[in-house]
Amino acid sequence: MTKATHPHTKTDSPHGVRARVRRLRWTAFALVTVSYMLAFFNRVAPAAIASDLQQAFSASAAALGGLAATYFMYTP
């Protein structure tokens, strides 16, 4: 039985394998970077609107701090 390959893929040569591995590394790096940025903005967002939350819910700074602490405790 022969191995069926696509004519445009060059994964048999060492250069083709290196190129594919390099592409996979950059893809993994990009995914990790985007995930980190998303997590960062999710952590910063409550601090950016803290004064608005205090006014809307008539909450003290201690109550808002307690709410923020439970949010980070129960979210993975």
Which of residues 42 and 5 earns the better pLDDT score? Answer: 42
CA 9/CA 6 separation, integer angstroms: 6
pLDDT of res. 53: 86
Residue 1 has pLDDT above 80, yes or no: no
Record the pTM. 0.55
Residue 71 has pLDDT above 80, yes or no: no
DSSP state of 28: H
Give me the phi and psi of 15, to 5 degrees please. -65, -40
9-55: pLDDT as tens digits: 555 677 889 999 999 999 999 999 999 999 888 778 878 888 898 89
